[in-house]
Amino acid sequence: MGENDKAEHAKAGQRSLRYVPAAVVLAGLAFGYLMGWQRYLSLDFLAGSGDTLKAWVATHPVQAPAAFFAAYLLAVAFSFPAAAILTVFGGFLFGWHLGGVLVAFAATAGATLLFLAARSAFGGVLRQRVGGRAARLADGFEADAFGYLLVLRLAPIFPFFVVNIAPALFEVRLRTYVAATFIGILPGTFAYAWLGQGLDSVLEAARMRGDRAQLSDLVTPEITLAFLLLALVAAIPTIVRHVRRRR
């Protein structure tokens, strides 16, 4: 094998290795669904096991928060669409103060791992494959990545795992991603944890009605509107900068 062939073989190996983290994420997600873990991510499960879980938390003041942190981190890193319900779990089990803190750090860590896996596999794809208006969109996103990401985190429009992966298609710095993620999820994190802290009354009301408790019973239109308004306020600096650049 000549030197050129060896170099090409090495490059091919490097290209293959870049997809390994993304393959691990997909394999973990598939394994979780095959094991049926998604059935534990519902208010029905919490309604039937809430007392047992709270008793375990009370008798394991160190292990319980650590286990919840690890479970939340892995759920986010493997793209389980369960951020909202797990945040409610955190508030229910630990109170909105500790639950919110655990979720904020676990969600940021898990989202960062997922971002790194996606960037390893797909980083630069958008820049290499598109032109014209899409390229200008990429330029605008990268020029003010923090502002755009902050708005996406605050606005409850796109699923959490989608916003975790999408920035990997742009040239977003890791520290920008981490900072915008952590700051952007704080309002929603503590709001959902606070809702979880009062979940007992919602579950009891559902039992009285003979219905199943749904996440929509907690998240009112007023709360959603408040998040949208907060995202709009956060978008103002980005919009102003964009207008100035156009001028």
Six-digit token string for 214: 């749904």
State the residue for tokens 């502002």.
147
What are the residues whose beta carbons fall under 8 Å from the beta carbon of 163, sequence distance 6 or more? 149, 152, 153
CA angle, 132 then 137 then 141, to 5°: 150
Query: Residue 92: is it exposed, middle or buried by C-beta count within 10 angstroms (0-12/13-18/19+)?
Result: buried
Please give the model's pTM, rounded to 2 decimal places: 0.81
pLDDT for 16: 61
Q: Give the length of the chain.
A: 247
Q: Residue 6: count other Cβ atoms within 10 Å of its Cβ.
A: 10
Per-residue pLDDT of the chain (247 residues; tens, 9 = 90+): 555 544 454 454 455 677 788 888 889 889 988 988 888 887 778 777 888 999 999 999 999 999 999 999 999 999 888 888 899 899 999 999 999 999 999 999 999 999 999 888 776 665 566 555 556 666 767 778 888 888 888 877 778 888 888 888 888 889 999 999 999 999 889 988 888 887 777 666 666 666 666 666 666 665 566 666 666 766 666 666 666 666 6
Cα distances (angstroms) measured from residue 132 to each of 136, 139, 166, 174, 243: 6, 11, 19, 26, 19
Give the CA angle between residues 71, 76, 81 to the nearest 5°: 105
Residue 8 identity (one-letter amino acid): E
